[in-house]
Amino acid sequence: MMLSRVAERVFWLARYIERVENTARMVLVHSNLMYDLPKKIDMCWYRLIELTSSEELFAKLYDNKTEKSVMQMLLVEPNNPGSLMSSLKSARENIRTTRDILPKETWNQINQLHLLLRSRESDVQTRSKRNALMEEVIQHCQAMVGMFAGTLSQDETFAFLVLGRNLERADMTSRMLDEGGFFLGQQKHLEQVQAYENVLWANILRSVSGYLMYRQHVQTQIEGEGVIKFLLNDRPFPRSVTHCLLKVQEMLDALPDGEGVREEVQTLLRYLQEWTQFEAGSEELHAYLDHLQQGFIRVNNSIYQAWFIPKHVAA
């Protein structure tokens, strides 16, 4: 078994890379909705702060809830440990300290991304430039994931990478669904938003690269309940919550002492299988997704108990 501190760095490396990519995706889908929905619908940029549970820190750092301040906070704020830039720096440091067990190409790739973001930091305040930059960030992150998949032996190092990536991905997919539900739950804009519901959910699907797969496998028009079920329960789609949890469960077979983690994952999978037809935008959907996100925290905590906290400390 690899050392717990090394395993923890690999786990968080995967989470940070996925977080960088997902932050870029979240910003892109919000920007695209700005273009696709009519101006009379109020697109609140601060909603992205709420989605990332960053309200308290935002209030300390900024006076106004503007697009500029939200983008600064989410993308390049050094005092925000969850910003895209902070997550990238953390991923880079974790690669640096585990370079002896990871492909050299991943170190080169993350350095290129780090330099790209530093050289174009000012682009985050111009919407068109920001969108182009976010597309490049996503491509770099996907290249790194491809390098791991194509060059690493599928041993314990690989298992911790897959654990971290899929736990982070499941969490963000649930938050993107919450984003869609939020717009439909705005009562003052209900009629206007419902008229553009298919545009909203198409953008949510695109945010997780799921538009084509939804059209191929669901084969119905794009509507809220269908997208919710697809992104929560579709087993073959790599960014559905169910698929991500199944990948976590699969990796447990390659690791010892994972029964506590397996129990938490199976609890969440049972919860997902107890499917209820949620009305998009309902309080019931928000509560369901909130419960899922609490479950992801419990899975993370069980991973720490199993592998990252030395046994004499845990006792």
Mean pLDDT for 188-201 is: 67
Whole-prediction pTM value? 0.92
Q: Rounded CA gap, 29 and 18, in Å? A: 16
Take residue 10 and report the two structure tokens written for it: 């690999």
Note the pLDDT of residue 232. 95
What mean pLDDT is predicted for residues 214-237? Answer: 89
Lowest-confidence pick of 9-13, 72-76, 190-194, 267-271: 190-194
In this prediction, residue 187 carries a pLDDT of 46
Whether 242 contacts 248, CB under 8 Å: no
| Measured distance CA(225)–CA(209) in Å, rounded | 18
Collapsed DSSP state (helix, strand, coil) of residue 41: coil
Mean pLDDT confidence for 164-191: 78
Q: What φ, ψ does residue 75 adopt, rounded to 5°?
A: -105, -45
Helix H segments across the chain? 4-36, 47-51, 55-61, 67-71, 84-96, 104-119, 127-151, 156-184, 190-195, 197-207, 211-217, 224-233, 241-251, 259-273, 283-303, 311-314
Cα Dmax for the chain: 60
179 pLDDT above the threshold of 90: no
How confident is residue 312, by pLDDT bands cut at 50, 70 and 90? very low
Residue 182: per-residue pLDDT? 63
Mean pLDDT, residues 139-146 taken together? 94
Q: How far apart are CA 96 and CA 16, in angstroms?
A: 14
Residues 52 and 74: beta-carbon distance below 8 Å = yes
pLDDT computed for residue 217 by the predictor: 87
Distance CA 99, CA 12 (A): 14
Q: Is 71 helix (H, G, I), strand (E, B) or coil?
A: helix
Residue 191 pLDDT: 60
Q: Tell me: the pLDDT tens digits for 11-68?
A: 999 999 999 999 999 999 888 887 777 666 666 888 899 888 899 999 999 999 999 9
Q: What is the mean pLDDT of residues 198-202?
A: 84
Contact 133, 120 (CB under 8 A): yes
**Average pLDDT for residues 166-192, to the nearest whole number?**
76
Q: In this model, does residue 223 exceed pLDDT 90? A: no
- Per cent of the chain over pLDDT 90 is 67
